Structure 1
């Protein structure tokens, strides 16, 4: 099962961010569902593969992104990774000054924070 996580910062909660997420969902033919004030879900099918995208507005100015599917990780889950790449690219185009702070496929499975683990 594929599972990719990313953190984007700085992201300000507000109408502009919500409109950007809605626009991305519409362009992908997906429905964006707000589960509560800070969490949203997008379900879509890519190449016959059901994929779930979860978005979490975290404390401060961080947007957490999770892409999960039943695609096997043995070959690196290329379809799921491609969707993560596309989502991040589109978010960075629409959210001024935002940058990817963490990607599980690049930085390891667990976010260590600035400077790594403190002991």
Structure 2
């Protein structure tokens, strides 16, 4: 269930977007300025975001499964699910802004 949700939502979209960004930078012959400055690159930030969201979703699912056996109180389940939902909504909003910015840039006259 979790894999289906992630495939539909953020993880695939962010990984495809970071691959596109990397391919565009390589095709343009652009150097990696973030590496020179010592700051994380754009694709690393997106990968960390996707990993964080994925981890929170997996944690929420694991806690939900543990609650079925009575090992975890309902309050902890609700907190984990709400945290995962908030992270997913944030990642989706960031993805939407990135796509919107890309579309605006692609419409600019050269």
Alignment TM-score, normalising by the size of structure 1 = 0.32
Q: Which is richer in helix?
A: 2
Q: Which is richer in strand?
A: 1
Greater C-alpha Rg:
2
